[in-house]
Structures are given as C-alpha cells and as structure tokens.
Chains A and B, each alone.
Chain A
Amino acid sequence: MSAAIEIKNLSKHFGAKVAVNDVSFNVEEGHCYGLIGPNGAGKTTTFSMMCGFLFPTQGSIKVLGVDPSEAGALKGKVGVLPQDAILPPTWPVGELLTYYGNLSGLPNAESEARAVLERVQLPETWNVAAGALSHGMHKRVSMAQALMGAPPVIFLDEPTAGLDPKIAASVRNVIRDLKGKHTVVVSSHNLQELEELCDATAILDKGKLVSASSMAELTGQFAEFRVQIARGDVPLAEVKATSGVKEAHVDGNKVLCVTYDGQAVQPEEIITRVVGLLASKNVLFLTVWRGKRLEEKVLQLT
C-alpha cells in the first residue's frame, strides 16, 4: 500500500509562536487516519497545511504526490470539511453546492449536489439559505460539499463536534462508508469515535508529534488485554506464571491488566488461558477487551 499523504519535518510558525514543530508521518492510501491531540496541539494547523489553506514555514507535504500549496494542485483530488468555516449565509444550499460542483469542474454539478445532500440526509434543505441552517445541519451540509465528486482524499476537521448523538452517529456512518474507498483524515477530540473509525493515528501535543502508528499498535491490541473484575481475588502470581504472560497487575478500578508476548502467542489463546484460570478460581468478571482504550493511551502520551 502506498502513501496518499507524506508529511516530512513540517513546521508552522505564527510570529514567535511555534504551532507545529518538525512533524513527520505518512497516511496510507485507503486508510482512515486520525489526528489526535489536546486543544492547541497543532491538529487544525497541520490539517490546514495539508489542505493548502496555510503555507508551511518548513518541511514538505505531498498529497497524492502534489504539493497542496501549489495553485490548483488539489482540484478534484480532495474534499475538505474545514473546522469553523462558515458557508456563505445568503446562498441557498442547493445553489451553493451546485456552484461548488461547477468550480470543481463536475460535469453534472446539480445532480451531484442533490446526491450528496441525500447522503447526509438533508435533501429538504435544498432551498434553505445556508445562514438559516442549525449548527448540525450546517456541519452536515459542509460535509456534503466535501463528498462532492467522490474525491480520493477527504479531510474532515471535527466532523461531529457540537452534534447531538443521533446526528453524530449518522455522520460516523457516512465516514464508515468512506473507509476503504477513500483516504480519510479525521481530526477529532472524540477518542472513542476515532478508535472506532480509524486505522491509524498521529498524536500531537504542543505542536510536536508524540506518536504515529496504527491503531492496533497504539492501543497495544497485540500485546495487552484487560479484564474488568466483578468479584473475587485475582490469583496474580498464577496469572503471571501463565505461559506467554510477561506482566500482570490489578489497577485501582479492579481491572486486571495483562501484557503478553504478541509475537509468541495468539491473543485468543492467551486470553482464553487467563480467563479460564480466573473462572477456575471463582473470580467473576464483566468484560474483557484487547489493548488499552485510546483515551487512556492519549492521556498517557500527552
């Protein structure tokens, strides 16, 4: 699989402030890639440089082999849902999307506009002025314009921020549909959402890259598992002595954390062994999950 996006030693300074500092990572073609980090980490700045809105101070970006800061380089190649970008308020939604379609050079802009509005479940907004849309509708119309023409790369900056759970779920479904067919870059604070959607992530903190890896590597899905204990005393010494287990401990929330040698043993084998041991010792448990929660990993790294 080749890289759809290549970022090398990317930095962005705003005067004396360093917003992004020497960041490098690649996004594989067809992947859904998450940009994660606390407020002010440099996610949106990195995102904006990938879309050609901001020019890097140093370093380079290639999106499908072209530099996004070159005039017209991204035409027809990317769809973007920018964070906080307001749709021109006086334009009716249908007319606006058709206009954007024409600018993208789509041969049948109006029918494409109708199709993407259907996709985000907002066909009734065709004649509604963009300024009259609710926040959730505005976000979905913005998302619709990003999907127009089925571009190979789609950037979504905070696609579910401020949406109610039902609408957020429908937006996640749209993103899920894009996976595999498009390269999708999603920036979000919702780590559960990213964990569910993304194949790989970059974690930024204070402008620096602290991790760039696949979701499985990041959450240790092939090296750790956890068991939520309900009742009973965990036979820790026996768990540690189980074949393949490297380390085990119980944390303050009565969660048994087991680290194992992912190269030597399959996860299903080691989990079954440990769970069987617990059951034989009358230890009752509620759930078992592989790896760490993304949230836990991010909190640890940032």
Chain B
Amino acid sequence: MADLSEIVAIWSGETRRALKSGRVLVLLVLFVMFVGLALTLVGGALHQVNAKFEQEAAMAGADLSQASAQLTEQKKQFLKMFVTEDEAMLDSLAAIPIVLLVVFKLTLRFLPLFIALMGFDQLAGEVGPKSVRYLVVRVKRNSIILGKLLSQLTIFALLLSLCTLLMVFVARVLNADFATSQVALWTFKLIISSLVLSLAYLSLTALFSAITRQSGIALVLNIIALFVIWFIALVGGAFRFPGEEAALNSLAMLKSESWIAYLRYASVWHFGDDLLHPSWSRALPAALVHVGYGLGFLGLAQLALKKRDL
C-alpha cells in the first residue's frame, strides 16, 4: 500500500518543480499552437461555408427560415463528418458553436500524444540516471508512481483548462448567439470530459515510463501503443456497419456481423466520443471505461516498478 503523506509530498514537490520549469511553458505553447491552428483552419472553413451559403440564399431569394433550416442541416452534416453520427448527441451539441465542437474533437485526438510528450520521462528519466535511488530509500515505490501521476494530472488539468478557456473564448467571440449560460456549462463539460479521457492515457504513459530505463524508448513505445489503440478502434469501427449503413458502404460485405467489429471494445479510444453524450447511460459507462483502463495501466505500472531492479 502507498502512504498518503508520501504521495502528497511527491505530488507537491514534483508539481512545484514542474511549474517552475521551462518545460511547462513549452508544453503550453505547443498546446496553444495546436488549438490556435485548429481554430484558424476550422473557423476559416466554416466561415467560407457560411458566406457561400448566405450569398447563394440571397441570390436565389429564398426565405430566411428555409435558409436557416438548410444551414442547420449543413452544420449537422459537418458535425456528422467530424464529430459524431449519433443523433441524440448531435441534437445536444447543437447548442454550442460548431467551431468549438470540431476544434475540441480534434484536441481530444491530440491529447494522448500530448500526454505522452508531457510525461514520458517521469520515471524512466529517473531510473536511467539512477536518481530514483534517492527516492526509493525514502518512500514506497507505489507512492512514487502515484505521486508523479497526480503531479502529471495536475499540470495537465492546468494546461487543458487554459486551452479550453481559449477555445471557448474564441468560439464566443465568433458566435454572438453562443449564450452566456451555455458558455459556463460547456466549458465545465469539456474540461471534465477531457480530464476523464486523460486518466487512461496518463496511466498508459506512466506504464511505459515505469518499464523502461531510457526516456526515449519510453516515448517511442508509448507512441506505438497509441497507434495500436487507435488502429484497433479504427479496424473495429470499420467492420461495424449495421442496418442501412451497411448497404451504403462499399466494404459492407466484409463488415456486417464480423467478429472483428468487437475488437473496438478492446480499445479505450472507441469510448472517447461518448464522454460528451447527453445521455448518462452512454456517458457514464464511457467514463467508467476510461477510469477502468486508467486503473489497469496504473496497476501494471505499479507492478512493473515494484518488481524491477532500480
């Protein structure tokens, strides 16, 4: 068992140290650059679509309500392509600007890589130069992992909150109809869902950092693992085309009822989309799956560090 006072001491020391280091600033710049780039590209594309639509509607002399309905439908198609195909979720997400949704969705895809870049050397960087030896005579090995993981989570939450606020702020500026009451609600929802999603990937990063002696190898293995997770979800998803969709898809004969479709449940990636689902029956299991994967990876990391020579 880990000792709470040890975990707190490690968390506090590591977090204070990290916040004073230039690395956090570099990570923040990287995150902001990514969000900024996504906002620019997505915002630009949407602006062009809107402008073209309004121009065509004006030229055709169509009435405003019909044009508005058409625009809403177009947005829905856009969301279907970039965010989700779930109708209930699409209706729920209609309350927030499309630019925010798409950028947030892209950010979620980027987060696992960002987390790997942030924490790949949390343990490997101490095992290689043997500085971990100064710790293991003072605290339990489990406390080292948990303290460092909490420190990573704290720093990540801080960076994520800053970037989410930036996204929401830009979305609010670009969309005057984004109601103020919705701004607070969705900022909270987006941050919480991202933090839940991050639990699995923070633990995964801790695992690869715990089993290797060199930080570079930990990072490479972590990225390979992310690709495997993504690939399993992709393959599983591609082989899942029930009902009408199967008939429309060129690979339908391969996909319907194939056992390969079930592979997607082995990938935590598959459950990421449901974290924002309006129905608790979808959002809660997705959250629990992320927590479960997080605990699983964390357990393996603890086992690895406990059993290995340092």
Chain A residues at the B interface, C-beta cutoff of 8 Å: 48, 51-55, 71-72, 74-75, 78-80, 82, 84-88, 90-91, 95, 99-100, 102-105, 145
Contacts and interface: CB of A to CB of B under 8 A. Distances in A.
Interface string B100-126: 000000000000000000000000001
9 contacts: A51-B137, A55-B307, A71-B142, A71-B306, A82-B134, A85-B130, A90-B17, A102-B9, A145-B134
B135 interface: yes
A134 to B, nearest CB: 17
A83 to B, nearest CB: 9
Interface in B43-100: none
A145 B6 CA distance: 17
Contact of B136 (A52, A87, A90, A91): A52
Interface string B5-41: 1100110110001000100000000000000000000
The listed residue with most A CB atoms (<10 A of its CB), out of B3, B5, B134, is: B134
B129 A103 contact: no
Contacts of B129: 85-86
Nearest to B21: A90
Contacts of B310: 53-54
B131 A86 contact: yes
Interface of B: 1, 3, 5-6, 9-10, 12-13, 17, 21, 126, 129-131, 133-143, 306-307, 309-310
Contacts of A91: 17
Contact of A71 (B133, B140, B309): B140
A54 B309 contact: yes
Contacts of B17: 90-91, 95, 99
A63 B58 CA distance: 86
Given A71-B140, A71-B141, A100-B138, A85 B13 contact: no
Contacts of B21: 90
Given A87-B134, A103-B135, 18 more contacts: A48-B309, A53-B136, A71-B140, A72-B6, A75-B138, A75-B139, A80-B133, A80-B134, A82-B133, A84-B130, A87-B131, A95-B17, A99-B9, A102-B9, A102-B13, A103-B9, A103-B138, A103-B139
Contacts of B10: 103
The listed residue with most A CB atoms (<10 A of its CB), out of B3, B5, B133, B135, is: B133
Nearest to B20: A90
Contact of A86 (B130, B135, B138, B141): B130
Nearest to A80: B137
A6 to B, nearest CB: 19
Contacts of B309: 48, 53-55
B138 A85 contact: no
A72 B140 contact: yes
A72 B3 contact: yes
A85 B142 contact: no
A74 to B, nearest CB: 5
